[in-house]
């Protein structure tokens, strides 16, 4: 009995000692094996992100890049309102020759955008709303500091998904791709964001949990790209989006604005210098005419020989360049040409390379603008207080098939008198058919447009 009792007390003593040592290691204030976390539930996402999303979406627009050749070919993407002066940024993946970019705001308004510049390093494209175009109140997105962003932080992305209202996705800042090594490396380092999103999110914002812009979505990588980066085990099978850090975005926009060139006056003719030597007398032979240019509106044709421009004889293409450079937008110029061996006088209303920007009638195959003195001179229209003029016609679209022409003055749309009201015409464009009352050469006629 004594031996058994001794073993029992020995076991109790060992257990007590082990318990004491474990308590000292786990809870010792002087740095034991483990460090206990602070008590209480872990902080997480707020119960609802609705208010945050509502605030940010006011600075997000859905973009439509409409093909001029085929208005039914439309690329969709996302843009960010960067300034209340009308500047909008997006990914350069949306831009391209022959595309007209339009911005759709959440209040339903739709406006054309003018290209300002692009940065090939960051793949950021900068656009602006043309002066005089009706637009809703612009609410710029507040900018954050991407250098303070940390891997593992919750972030939100907003972009185009279905329709013209931005949708939202939630994810983590997963890491960084590339390495910035100085000023010349602008755009070489991008954010990696772990969240599912469509390609139409390109150009949309990445914001932190305070609604501050920390990046602009440039591309979304596939699952294969994720595995190639060796991050599949950490990030799972979801796509990995790349975003331009907002600090790079800010610097890129400032550089683009510094390099911006003012609108140039253009005649709109293309000339092949190698074909000038065969002319029997001085002049400049026209190889082709740019559509919707000042020359096209004046009636200049391919193979015309330009003899005089503003009463100045033209002996070479350099003479023409110098003469055009001396003109101002809206100035009327007398142009003497030779066509099929006979002289012909034309009147040209000079314009800039940004004068005629089609509005949302591009889905019907035509562009339009509010009539002003420059457009009135260009198309030889009678003076009116307010009016809407056709500035562009896609020869493959419904407008051309119906017979609409450049310079037509639109008076009614679907039996509603417009009186120069662009908003009413925009509303009529949503109908399945479009009946236009147009004035041309002093007489009026109806045109029915349908797909």
Report d(CA 442, CA 391) in Å as an integer.
18
On whether the 265-352 domain is CATH 2.30.42.10, my answer is yes
Instruction: Write out the residue limits of the CATH 2.40.10.120 domain(s) in the chain.
Output: 48-260
What pLDDT tens digit does each residue of the chain (451 aa) get? 444 555 444 454 554 444 444 444 444 444 557 766 566 655 667 778 888 999 999 999 999 887 766 667 778 889 999 988 889 999 887 776 456 788 888 888 888 888 888 887 788 999 988 766 777 889 999 999 998 999 999 999 998 776 667 788 889 999 888 654 333 345 667 899 988 777 788 899 999 999 999 999 987 543 333 333 333 333 333 457 889 999 989 988 988 887 665 556 778 887 776 676 666 667 888 888 876 678 887 889 988 999 999 988 988 877 887 788 778 777 889 999 999 889 999 999 887 654 444 443 456 778 888 887 777 777 777 766 678 888 877 766 788 888 888 889 999 998 888 887 777 887 787 676 788 999 988 888 888 887 5
pLDDT of residue 88: 94
Residue 384 has a pLDDT of 66
What is this structure's pTM? Answer: 0.51
CA-based nearest residue to 112, from 70, 75, 64: 64
CATH 2.30.42.10 spans which residues of the chain?
Answer: 265-352, 360-449
Question: What is the token pair recorded at 251?
Answer: 């610097």
Q: Classify domain 360-449 at the CATH superfamily level.
A: PDZ domain (2.30.42.10)
CATH pick for 48-260 out of 3.30.1330.40, 2.40.10.120, 3.40.50.720, 2.60.120.260:
2.40.10.120
């Amino acid at each position: 009995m004594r031996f058994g009792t001794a073993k029992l007390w020995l076991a109790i003593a060992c257990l007590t000692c082990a318990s004491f040592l474990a308590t000292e290691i786990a809870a010792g204030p002087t740095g034991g094996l483990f460090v206990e976390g602070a008590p209480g539930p872990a902080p997480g996402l707020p119960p609802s992100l609705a208010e945050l999303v509502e605030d940010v979406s006011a600075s997000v627009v859905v973009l439509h890049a409409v093909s001029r050749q085929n208005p039914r070919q439309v690329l969709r993407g996302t843009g960010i309102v960067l300034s209340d002066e009308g500047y909008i940024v997006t990914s350069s993946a949306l831009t391209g020759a022959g595309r007209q970019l339009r911005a759709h705001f959440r209040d339903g308004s739709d406006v054309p955008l003018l290209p300002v510049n692009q940065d090939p390093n960051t793949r950021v494209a900068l656009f602006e709303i043309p002066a005089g175009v009706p637009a809703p109140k612009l609410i710029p997105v507040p900018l954050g500091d991407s250098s303070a962003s940390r891997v593992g932080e919750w972030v939100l992305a907003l972009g185009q998904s279905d329709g013209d209202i931005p949708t939202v996705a939630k994810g983590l800042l997963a890491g960084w791709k590339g390495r910035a090594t100085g000023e010349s490396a602008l755009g070489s380092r991008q954010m990696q964001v772990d969240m599912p999103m469509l390609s139409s999110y390109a150009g949309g914002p990445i914001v932190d949990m305070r609604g501050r812009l920390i990046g602009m979505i440039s591309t979304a990588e596939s699952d294969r790209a994720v595995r190639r980066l060796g991050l599949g085990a950490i990030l799972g099978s979801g796509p990995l989006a790349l975003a331009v850090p907002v600090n790079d975005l800010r610097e890129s926009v400032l550089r683009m604005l510094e390099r911006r060139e003012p609108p140039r006056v253009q005649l709109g003719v293309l000339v092949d210098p190698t074909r000038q030597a065969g002319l029997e007398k001085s002049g400049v032979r026209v190889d082709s005419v740019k559509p919707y240019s000042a020359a096209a509106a004046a009636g200049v044709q391919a193979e015309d020989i330009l003899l005089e421009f503003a009463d100045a004889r033209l002996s070479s293409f350099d003479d023409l360049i110098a003469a055009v450079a001396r003109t101002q937008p809206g100035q009327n110029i007398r142009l003497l040409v030779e066509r099929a061996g006979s002289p012909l006088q034309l009147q040209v209303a000079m314009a800039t390379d940004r004068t005629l920007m089609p509005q949302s009638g591009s889905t019907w195959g035509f562009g339009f603008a509010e009539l002003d003195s420059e457009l009135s001179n260009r198309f030889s229209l009678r003076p009116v207080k307010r009016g809407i003029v056709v500035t562009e016609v896609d020869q493959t679209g419904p407008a051309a098939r119906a017979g609409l022409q450049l310079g037509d003055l639109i008076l009614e749309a679907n039996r509603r008198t417009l009186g120069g009201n662009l908003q009413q015409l925009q509303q009529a464009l949503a109908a399945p058919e479009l009946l236009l009352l147009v004035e041309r050469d002093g007489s009026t006629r109806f045109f029915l447009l349908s797909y």
